[in-house]
Amino acid sequence: MDRDFGRGLYIDGQWQQSRSGRSFPVTNPADGSVIAEIPDAGAEETRAAIDAAHRAFPAWAARPALERARILMDWSRAMEAHQDELARLMTDENGKPLAESRGEVTYAAGFAQWFGEEARRVYGEIVPAATSLKRIWVLRQPVGVVGAITPWNFPAAMVTRKVAPALAAGCTVILKPAEQTPLTAIAIVRLLEEAGIPPGVVNVVVGQDPVAIGDALLDDPRVRKITFTGSTEVGKHLMRRSADTMKRVSLELGGQAPFLVFADADLDLAVQGAIASKFRNTGQTCVSANRIYVEEPVVDEFAHRMAQRVKEMRVGRGTEPGVVVGPLIDRQGYEKVKLHLEDAVRQGASVATGGRVYESGGGFYAEPTVLVGVEERMVVMREETFGPVAPISSFKTEAEALERANATPYGLAAYAYTRDLARGVRVAEGLEYGIVGLNDGMPSTPQAPFGGFKESGQGREGGRQGMDAFLEIKFVSVGLG
Ligand code: ADP
């Protein structure tokens, strides 16, 4: 795999430098070393990419779905075939342990496969009319040029979760990956090029200043859709700014996931689920268990078993064998984890295991930590930590657990562990969240709709529903005379 990213912009089928010739460094969060220099693009390059995507749209939309599907299937197989190289690149720029990077490549390839399959199922409808002299057709057509903005925490999967359904639907795309992790995105778009994507159908614009690129996308009326994963703050900004040209928006924003454990749960399974949810990607996921609520009679036992398991987890560089918790993405992430931990301890929480947040050899690290005796007033329970800190609090009744779980403006993912079927149904239905893991700490999969209630976003990605975001509905009323 080519490790030269000097021509990392992809516009109208051409890999190129920025117009100014300026570039910026991408660093390895494990040690701060520079991995690559990539072009620093702005509004001008973004406008050129929009021109290309706009020109390419009619021919791409007109292609038979089966042909678009074949390209997506080939893309999926190419990602799988390059799993090790892609994983290595991802670990270098994002920090996550290699095994997780490999898993993400499979997850990312899964979206290309799933939407390759779904491309052929964009069905319309024929609705019975009120008179014999009319026919009613309902068609689904691609929305047009799409601006796709992705975050650094899943450098491959967030790209394919957006780009694959857009392409399947017949849309063309300008992809803007996060400035921290553009290399994986560039590498997988190179594979898409090899799979035969025509010039202009997918364009990649990377730059240090996301506002310049974002504004160029937002201001242009030819961009009909913005699909974004990232912070709630930026998501709200994009939604507000989309209003002027009435762009469609899909937003996957922050979470504040509660993780409920009832006394009748299989505690080992619950511990395993909590660890999978909490520590994957060093706690830097929007579905990460942010608040663990355990029913009073089993809280000590649960915390004990979890701390025993967490104590064994090794922190370090993602490329080192045996490491399961990598570095935090940057200093800002580190400061946040530190603040959450210090605030909790100052207000009376105790550290059952872990607790150290430190700089080492140019990287920022946090030990996987279990906090007990945590209360709602602590910052760690009120804000998304985005780090490997598991705060445990106790509850007395099911009603209290649900009330506390729902007492947040966010609504992305929630988890509940119980062996009581009726309780499981009540709780799954009562949680105001777009995703519920019922006795499951890892619910995300390409074939299910992923997305949030409330301030966690708008629209769904993945699943059959993931196509809807890229389709317009057209009603044709046919008069027969
Ligand atoms: P995080 O805090 O996880 O970095 P952000 O919401 O800042 O989340 O970033 C997610 C993505 O949004 C990145 O690709 C980033 O470059 C981009 N981004 C940030 N600000 C803007 C903006 N004003 N317009 C468009 N994209 C933006």
Encode pLDDT of 272-310 as tens digits: 999 999 999 999 999 999 999 999 999 999 999 999 999
Give the pLDDT band of residue 80 (cuts 50, 70, 90): very high
Give tens-digit pLDDT for 345-363.
999 999 999 999 999 999 9
Question: Is residue 448 domain-resident?
Answer: no
Instruction: Provide CB contacts within 8 A for 379, sequence distance 6+.
Output: 339, 340, 343, 344
- What is the CA(216)–ligand 1 centre distance, in A? 14
Residue 415 has pLDDT above 90, yes or no: yes
Q: What residue owns the CA closest to ligand 1's atom 3?
A: 230
Closest approach atom of ligand 1 to CA 229 = 10
21 CB neighbour count, 10 Å cutoff: 8
Do 366 and 461 belong to one domain? no
Establish whether residue 442 lines the binding site of ligand 1, counting it when its CB lies within 6 angstroms of any ligand atom.
no
User: Can 252 be counted among the known catalytic residues?
Assistant: yes
* Residue 230 covered by a domain: yes
Q: Are residues 289 and 148 in the same domain?
A: no
Distance 208 CA to ligand 1 centre (A): 11
Summarize pLDDT for 430-446 with one digit per residue, the tens.
999 999 999 999 999 99
Q: Which residues contact 373 (CB under 8 A, 6 or more apart)?
A: 348, 349, 350, 393
pLDDT, one tens digit per residue, over 5-18 is 999 999 999 999 99
Statement to judge: residues 230 and 149 lie in one domain: yes
Residues 179 and 316 in one domain: no
Q: How far is the CA of 437 from the centre of ligand 1 (A)?
A: 28
* CATH number of the domain encompassing residue 91: 3.40.605.10
Together in a domain, 115 and 154:
yes
Among 38, 93, 149, 335, which is best to mutate for testing ligand 1, by the most ligand atoms less than 8 A from CB? 149
Tokens at residue 58, please?
Answer: 């009619």
Question: Residues 220-240: what's their mean pLDDT?
Answer: 98
Same-domain check for residues 111 and 142: yes
Cβ of 211 closer than 6 Å to ligand 1, yes or no, is yes
Residues 150, 81 share a domain? yes
pLDDT tens track for 250-263: 999 999 999 999 99
96 and 245 in a single domain? The answer is yes
Residue 360 belongs to some domain of the structure? yes
The residues with which 139 forms a beta bridge, in sequence order, are 474
Domain assignment present for residue 371? The answer is yes
- 205 and 278, same domain (yes or no): no
- The pLDDT, as a whole number, for residue 1 is 78
Residue of the nearest CA to atom 14 in ligand 1?
178
82 and 226 in a single domain? The answer is: yes
**Residues of 257-268 as b/e, b for ≥16 C-beta within 10 angstroms?**
bbbbbbbebebe
pLDDT value of position 2? 85
Residues 211 and 278 in one domain: no
* Nearest 10 degrees: Cα torsion 276, 278, 284, 286: 90
Output the residue whose Cα is nearest ligand 1's atom 25. Answer: 214
Protein residue closest via CA to atom 22 of ligand 1: 211
- 182 Cα–ligand 1 center, Å: 13
Looking from the CA of residue 217, the nearest atom of ligand 1 is: 25
State the residue range of the domain holding 307: 257-443
**Count of domains forming the chain:** 2
Does residue 205 sit within a domain?
A: yes
Cβ atoms of 325 and 368 within 8 Å: the answer is: yes
Residue 450 is assigned to a structural domain of this protein: no
How far is ligand 1, taken at its centre, from the CA of residue 241, in Å? 14
The answer, yes or no, to whether any atom of ligand 1 lies below 6 A from the CB of 208, is no
CATH of the domain at 376: 3.40.309.10
Whether 174 is in a domain gets the answer yes
Average pLDDT over residues 121-127: 97
Res. 3 pLDDT band, cuts 50 70 90: confident
Say if 449 falls within a structural domain: no
Q: What is the pLDDT of residues 317-336, one digit of tens each?
A: 999 999 999 999 999 999 99
Cα of 459 vs centre of ligand 1, distance in Å, is: 18
| Whether the CB of 283 sits within 6 Å of ligand 1 | no
Residue 229 shares a structural domain with residue 168:
yes
pLDDT cut 70: percent of the chain above it: 100
